Structure 1
């Protein structure tokens, strides 16, 4: 899962980024409303976490513009403002939830998990293809009685492949979804992660493989 966090308190922003990355989320972090709007318009995110009071544009204005432009990515507001009318204003702007500061880390993570479960393209905890199961809660691959854990990047790549089996996914799509649309990560990094996933598939004797299509990308398919 990939999140965009917008918060103008640099210390809190750094803390939030650490919290979510420690829990296997991919995170982009910005500190003003203009950047939040620009990043969120890419629609590369599974969830948005916005502060309301930010320079440039406040969080409510950012979300209003996103919703007007058809961006339906679920959003959670984090703010010190707790008055009822401000909560209503945020929800009316298109937010899915609202969490006032200060908040506990367990509640924040639970709210975000709930928000992501409610999104239109809700994905169940288990993603399956030809007997292979990807557990979105434990980041494990399982085939029959064999299990193996994936790293955060490996999980993100495998999730993309298992959501669209037998479909060729361009390398640029992996880079933008897993590392961010402004990333300058080298393509060789993708090769390394794919190679590691292939070894793990072999180790659990899965009957699927990741096939490279020259000039196109990668796809997950059943071993014939």
Structure 2
């Protein structure tokens, strides 16, 4: 049975979400304050967390940051009444895996939560190398130039998809389907926000550029500083 934590101060919304997910067979805990939600997240073992941004006590950004600082990488879907790229980026930078802007459809939220649960539970062990970047999918570990880089579950999945076919341009639609499990129905802006977050973590602190945008086409990973033919290697330990 999956365990879900909902941290939301709108009691009517919380009640609807709790009844809905419990009807699906999940065990649901709720908190109406940020400090209470952080305490529950640190004490319990949850499979996913739905976290509002505007909360009494501690806001959602600080709750998310506190969870990640404790070394917990439970998938977090952040809810926001705001609608702007910088708000989304701030949520992702603090460690959220996905976001949803209010008002939203319960069916959309349900789909997003299921996608997070599926992606957290599946995946073959791999070691992927592109230039000085190493991804270990079993441990969900990202290392570049010997330096470990903490990534959210969604960021890791996105980087892994791009890195498995280095040099190949992957369209946003394909990334939405592969990473978000949203074939033909996802917002392409969510891909742009996550790519931006990845660039801040994986590219900017290092001299060589790995993430490349092909305008109108999509994105690709390529170690251009050392040459694609010599620098790219994708080795899998289990196929």
TM-score with structure 2 length normalisation?
Answer: 0.49
Question: Is contact 1:46–1:74 with CA below 8 Å preserved after alignment?
Answer: yes
Q: Is the 8 A contact 1:13 1:29 kept in 2?
A: yes
1:20 & 1:81 partners in 2: Cα distance? 24
In structure 2, the residue matched to 1:85 is 86
Aligned length: 122
The answer as to whether partners of 1:50 and 1:76 remain within 8 angstroms in 2 is: yes
How do 1:121-160 and structure 2 match up within 5 A?
Answer: 122-123=121-122
- For residue 24 of structure 1, report the CA deviation from its aligned partner: 1.4
In 1, the alpha carbon distance for the partners of 2:23 and 2:84 equals: 32
Given the alignment of the two structures, is residue 104 of structure 1 paired with residue 99 of structure 2, yes or no? Answer: no
User: What CA deviation, in whole Å up to 9, does each residue of 1:94-138 have, x standing for no partner?
Assistant: 11100111111111111001111222xx158xxxxxxxxxxxxxx
Cα drift, residue 36 of structure 1: 0.4
Partners of 2:107 and 2:12 lie apart in 1 by 19
Partners in 2 of 1:22 and 1:115 — Cα distance?
19
Look up the match of 1:64.
65
> In 2, are the aligned partners of 1:8 and 1:54 still within 8 Å (CA)?
yes
Paired with 1:123 and 1:3, the residues of 2 have a C-alpha distance of 18
CA RMSD of aligned residues (A): 1.2
**Separation (CA, whole Å) in 1 of partners of 2:12 and 2:18:** 10
Per-residue displacement from partner, 1:183-207 (whole Å, max 9, x unpaired)? xxxxxxxxxxxxxxxxxxxxxxxxx
> What is the deviation of 1:43?
4.1
Q: Report the equivalent of 1:19.
A: 20
For 2:20 and 2:88, how far apart are their aligned partners in 1? 24
- Unpaired segments ≥5 residues, structure 2: 124-239
**Alpha-carbon distance change, 71 to 43 in structure 1, aligned in 2, over 3 angstroms:** farther
In 1: Cα distance, 2:9 partner to 2:107 partner: 22
Map 1:125-204 → 2, pairs under 5 A: none
Which residue in the other structure is 1:31 paired with? 32
Q: Which runs of 4+ in 1 moved over 4 A?
A: none
Per the alignment, residue 200 of structure 1 pairs with none
Paired residue secondary structure (2:54): coil
* Contact 1:33-1:55 within 8 A present in 2 as well: yes
Q: Partner of 2:43: helix, strand, or coil?
A: coil
Aligned mates of 1:44, 1:68 — CA distance in 2: 16
Q: Using the alignment, how far apart are the partners of 1:68 and 1:97 within structure 2? A: 18
Partner-residue secondary structure (3-state), 1:41: helix
